[in-house]
Chains A and B, each alone.
Chain A
Amino acid sequence: MSDTTPSAEMLADMYALAVRARKLDERCWILHRQGKIGFHISGMGHEAAQVAVTFAMRRGHDLLHPYYRDLAMVLGCGMPMADVLLGSFGRAGDPSSGGRQMPNHYCYKPGNVFSVSSPVGTQLPQAAGLALAEQLRGGDRVVVTCIGEGSTSEGDFHEALIWAGVRKLPMVVVVENNEYAISVPMKLQMAIERVSDRAGGYGVRGVSVDGLDLLASYQAAREAVDLARSGGGTTLLEVRVARLTPHSSDDNDSVYRPAAEKAALKLKDPLPKLRAQLIAMGALSEVAAREIEERALSEVDAAHRQAEAAPYPPEAWALGPVFAGEEA
């Protein structure tokens, strides 16, 4: 394995991406509580792992089939903040779906980001198909797909991993394990300690890593991506993360999450830890960190203004396009 230690410059870029995702996420919650957007589903607590995976990819070259919490990943693959918010506001310029899908159902073709669905797990066989096509044509692009641990109970997850194992597909399946499927805790979802324990059953490599630790996650993700690119097949990469928020803007987690557990969540927040770690390593100065944070907030402000002022889609967009044209 090549030396995968990130440079100081790269570490600063990683921190910047995590902060951008967090600030944008926070703004979405505010906009929802103000009644300005109809829905939000959050990636808070997942950012370190998502940034790590994103930086392990050849962004713009590799393919990403994400799920709805992957805000940091889609930003990392080049989706502008304003484009995310155009989706939240349901505006015509929303590149994911032109205002057709609910917010956070990302699609960003310029960054090779495929369309997120609401029925969970459907992206897994599709990602296997993306990887199969890549393998059949002898391409070198790796497919990264993400899924929550709750969705690993879906049949599509198992079916896709069977393909991945049998055909040694160039794929990384990232399971973002935040220990809750809306309200159902992990112990009622699976009788194993780690999702990666399942890997052997499919004949793929399984790895679990502390997804709150960006550096550890990056090493694991980089190995998985490099292995996939070199013909070594699929890795089932479980990143253990924390869901710092309710499931979505429409959920109240106080009903099912013990107060003590909720209070302890703050200590799990990966961002303050990352900030302190990078400053201690000398990869980031206090001043540089603050600059990154201020710049991210300005970017959010500008994106917010732009998206809120943007026009709605024309009514005709409700009706189509349903079918593609006949050009073969």
Chain B
Amino acid sequence: MADKTLIEGIREALDEEMARDERVIVIGTDIGVRGGVFLATQGLYAKYGPNRILDAPLAESSIVGVGIGAAMNGLRPVCEIQFADFIHPAYNQIANEAARMFYRTGGQYPVPMVIRAPYGGGVGGGLYHSQSIEATFAHVPGLKVVIPATPADAKGLLKTAIRDNNPTLFLEPKKGYRMIRGPIPEDQGCVPFGEARVSRPGRDLTVLAYGMMHFYALQAAESAAKEGLDVEVVDLRTLNPLDSAGVLASVRRTGKALIAYEDNKFVGYGAELAAQIAEDAFTALDAPLLRVAAPDAPAAPYSHPLQDAFLPGPRAILDGIRTLARY
């Protein structure tokens, strides 16, 4: 099976779900003839036409708000926010409206909608084309948050998101769009939410990661193996729902946990992981928890040396692995 890219997984999921269900529409900027700035919808406009692939005015709140309305009137919109950094004007529609609609109507109005957004740094995007925004949204009850780390998961998880009856924020590691390659089975189906994946089994310690940091974690684990360290890597896949049982099981097996995330460290998603491990697996720990994350500065900066200094990567994870292994 020839390897495919992560963005191909996204495109295949959109294509197959649109073919399967005529209620699925895509709303976003530059997604039509242009095929999306990352080409996620390349070829779909020609195939499905302007009534299924809708170029939107450049107004993020309305891209989500219109999606909510369409979802409440029988469609299943996939809304694209061009960069996660630009999602903030839509926060109100996502957190106050989409995520709360089902609860506030006592279950009468589900909002079956996906919001896709490329996130993360390492592409020279500076402060506003590099952000990791998952912690902000994983905190919101009623919203599912998904981050694929492989092409097959990109396809399988996006299919699940489109068929789910709840609003789902689907964050795609943009640096990995073409860098992360792997097989996608011909019959790739839905990948269930809430099931973390042990992508590399190991005995000495656990690295918990998602998205691009999972890619780097595998690289770091490979390097560590050459030093005689047997590292387990867990890909969370979905941040809400979180597979707490899967995370805890791995940490209990190895007794040590390194939590890697690209977001800045303070109150990041890794803090929740650390809290759950401390609450529920304290006696299994042989070492303090270790977080590898970005500094608490509003970057990542554009200039390459600054960007490299800012973003955590395989080397930072490897350093963390060594520190934990020595403990």
CA distance A98 to B92 in the complex (A): 23
- A156–B102 touching, CB < 8 Å: no
Quick check: A125 and B69 within 8 Å, CB to CB? yes
> Are A320 and B89 touching (Cβ within 8 A)?
no
Among A101, A109, A127, A134, contact of B104 (Cβ-Cβ < 8 Å): A101
Interface contact tally, CB-CB below 8 A: 139
List CB contacts (< 8 Å) of B183-236 with chain A: none
Decide yes or no whether B51 CB sits under 8 A from chain A: yes
Is there an interface contact between B69 and A122, defined as CB atoms closer than 8 Å?
A: no
B61: contacting residue among A105, A117, A132, A156, CB under 8 A: A156
B318 proximal to A (CB < 8 A): no
Residue A193 at the chain B interface, CB threshold 8 Å: no
Q: Are the CB atoms of A125 and B165 closer together than 8 Å? A: no
Q: Is A125's CB under 8 angstroms from B68's CB?
A: yes
Cβ of A63 under 8 Å from chain B: yes
Check A107 against B67 for contact (C-beta < 8 Å): no
**Least Cβ–Cβ distance between A200 and chain B, in angstroms:** 17
Do B65 and A136 touch across chains, with their CB atoms under 8 A apart? no
CB A61 to nearest CB in B, in angstroms, measures 13
Docked CA distance A100–B104 (Å): 6
From B142, B144, B165, give the contact of A327 (CB < 8 A). B165
Task: Please pick, from A117, A134, A163, A328, the residue contacting B165 in the complex, using a CB distance under 8 A.
Answer: A328
Given contacts A125-B62, A324-B110, A328-B165, contact A136 B25 (CB under 8 A): yes
B290 within 8 A of A: no
The count of chain B contact residues (Cβ–Cβ below 8 Å) is: 44
Q: How far is the CA of A56 from the CA of B324 in the complex (A)?
A: 71
Encoded as 1 (CB less than 8 Å from any B CB) or 0, chain A from 206 to 226 comes to 000000000000000000000
**CB <8 Å contact, B65 and A326:** no
Kindly list chain A residues whose C-beta atoms are within 8 Å of the C-beta of B166.
323-324
Closest B residue by C-beta to A159? B62
Residue A322 at the chain B interface, CB threshold 8 Å: yes
State whether B65 touches A156 (Cβ < 8 A).
yes
CB-based contact A130/B105 at 8 Å:
no
Q: Does A151 contact B (CB under 8 A)?
A: no
Docked pose: A105 CA to B103 CA in angstroms: 13
A229 to chain B, nearest CB (A): 16
Taking a contact as CB atoms under 8 Å apart, the answer to whether A114 and B72 are in contact is yes
Q: Chain A 304-328 against B: per-residue CB contact (8 Å), 1 yes, 0 no? A: 0000000000000100111111111
Does B71 lie within 8 Å of A129, measured CB to CB? yes
A115 within 8 A of B: yes
Closest beta carbon of chain A to B98's beta carbon, Å = 9
- Name the residue on B nearest A100 (C-beta): B104
Please state if A128 and B69 are interface contacts (CB–CB under 8 Å): yes
Contact B74 A322 (CB under 8 A): no
Query: By CB atoms of chain A within 10 A, which of B61, B89, B109, B164 has the most?
Result: B61
Contact A159 B57 (CB under 8 A): yes
Chain A proximity of B32: nearest CB distance (Å) = 13
Contact A163 to B61, CB < 8 A, known contacts A125-B66, A129-B71, A324-B102: no
Partner of A117, one of B72, B89, B96: B96
B286 CB within 8 Å of chain A = no
- Give A65 to B97 CA distance when docked, in angstroms: 13
Task: Tell me if B74 and A107 are in contact (CB < 8 A).
Answer: no
Inter-chain contact B62/A122, CB cutoff 8 Å? no
Bound form: Cα–Cα A196–B101 in Å: 30
Residues 240-263 of chain B, each 1 if its beta carbon lies under 8 Å from chain A, else 0: 000000000000000000000000
Given contact pairs A136-B51, A163-B62, A328-B163, A129 touches B67 in the complex (Cβ within 8 A): yes
* 16 cross-chain CB contacts under 8 A: A63-B73, A97-B106, A119-B92, A126-B68, A129-B68, A136-B70, A155-B59, A156-B65, A159-B59, A160-B65, A162-B59, A163-B66, A322-B142, A323-B102, A324-B107, A327-B165
Q: 6 closest A-B pairs (Cβ-Cβ)?
A: A129-B69, A125-B65, A159-B62, A98-B106, A133-B73, A324-B110
**12 extra interchain contacts, Cβ-Cβ under 8 A, other than A100-B106, A114-B72, A323-B102?**
A63-B73, A114-B109, A115-B101, A129-B69, A129-B70, A129-B72, A132-B69, A134-B73, A155-B61, A159-B62, A324-B107, A324-B112
